[in-house]
Amino acid sequence: MKFIDEAKIYIKAGDGGNGVASFRREKYVPMGGPDGGDGGRGGSIYMEADRNLNTLVDYRYTRKFLAQRGENGRGADCYGAGGEDITLRVPVGTAVYDLNSEEALADLPRDGMRVLLARGGKGGLGNLHFKSSVNRAPRKCTKGEPGEEFELRLELKVLADVGLLGLPNAGKSTFIRAVSAARPKVADYPFTTLHPNLGVVRVDSERSFVIADVPGLIAGASEGAGLGFRFLKHLQRTHVLLHLVDLAPFDPEADPVADAIAIVRELEGYDPALAAKPRWLLLNKLDLIPEAERADRVEAFLAAYRAATAFAAPCFSIAAISGEGCKAVTTQVMTFLETLAQERAAAGEEAEAGRNADAQVQSP
């Protein structure tokens, strides 16, 4: 199945049915009075996250969704039936934006989460509602309200704890193959990864995390070079980024330091919040460097890189193709994620305690 992570759709909730002006006319009932019923409510449109879906391909070809209109009211106090609601199922991690204003309307990061996108119109009132002591035969009724309508942009952001960054052929796909059961395509030419890949990394029998591999970036990605940087949205939900750097590029004129800095600049140009996430360096392809030269090559890279970027995060030397050094990386990542979860849980408990204290103070 082709991976689709963006779609544009049009939705319209059902209009409300019209109320009716009607009078009871039966034999032996000379003054039956008004009996016009209300129109039914139009159907609404909901969106629900479903963990069994992993792409927005269903919305690439079917782009218009119209909910059912409410039935009109009828005489004899008959109210119109309401229109049926529509539920659009999307992958977990889908965000919804108004296509015209780019306003964020909904975000569905959990399975089963359900939001109302377009509310159906209310049904009109029949003349039954307008009778009074001074108006015994009202001929007034109202029309149903129109349902809400929107043009939407759906954007899928994959859910992962860790994201991989780097130039094409830096070894991201090889790394995710080394630490998880994921099997993305690996080849000796750039841009072998054309869509995000997810892998589950099991540190031991009870601890694991999810890692995401996205297509490689190059300098000028923000201007459309390479595959651009639209896949970076899949890293916005991660907690830590692993930046892979090729220490032994095939091009003798390539500068690993300049290439690594270019990736950072592209991150900053795309989203400062993404660039501010914790980012660790993985210096890859040590297997292509003579063992006697490895320490000097790593030290020289770090000295130049830190001088240019003031980088102070953890750094690991690895050979992804053989798995050398990968276990140490996954162990440290697991520890980082567990510590982060504990800190967030503690912060949540403090916030809850503060709310309870405020409630007690405000209570009489």
CATH number of the domain encompassing residue 209 = 3.40.50.300
Residue at 358 is within a domain = no
Q: Give the domain-ending residue among 129, 156, 183.
A: 156
d(CA 244, CA 262): 13
> Could you tell me the pLDDT band of residue 226, with boundaries at 50, 70 and 90?
very low
Q: What is the CATH number of the domain that holds 96?
A: 2.70.210.12
Q: Which residue has the tokens 């589950």?
A: 200
Tell whether 130 and 227 lie within a shared domain: no
Reference 23, options 37, 34, 15, 12; nearest CA is: 34
Q: Provide the edge-to-edge strand list for the sheet that holds 86-91.
A: 86-91, 45-50, 114-118
Residue at which a domain ends, from 156, 183, 204: 156
For 101-105, 130-134, 204-208, 227-231, which range has the lowest pLDDT when averaged over its residues?
227-231
Q: How many Cβ atoms from other residues are within 10 Å of residue 217's Cβ? A: 27
Give the model confidence (pLDDT) of 27-68 as tens digits: 887 778 898 899 999 999 999 999 888 888 889 888 999 999
**Domain identity same for 314 and 180:** yes
Per-residue pLDDT band at 72 (split at 50, 70, 90): very high
169 plus 305 within the same structural domain = yes
What residues make up the domain containing 31? Answer: 6-156
Q: Assess whether 104 and 205 both reside in one domain.
A: no
140 and 228 within one domain = no
In a domain, residue 352? The reply is no
Residue 70 in tokens: 């409410």
| End-to-end alpha carbon distance in the chain | 61
| Whether residue 252 sits in one domain with residue 203 | yes
Mean of pLDDT values over 104-123: 93
pLDDT at 89: 94
DSSP 133: S
Mean pLDDT of the chain: 84
Do 207 and 260 fall within a single domain?
A: yes
Could you give the number of structural domains in the chain?
2
- CB burial of residue 104 (10 Å; 0-12, 13-18, 19+): exposed
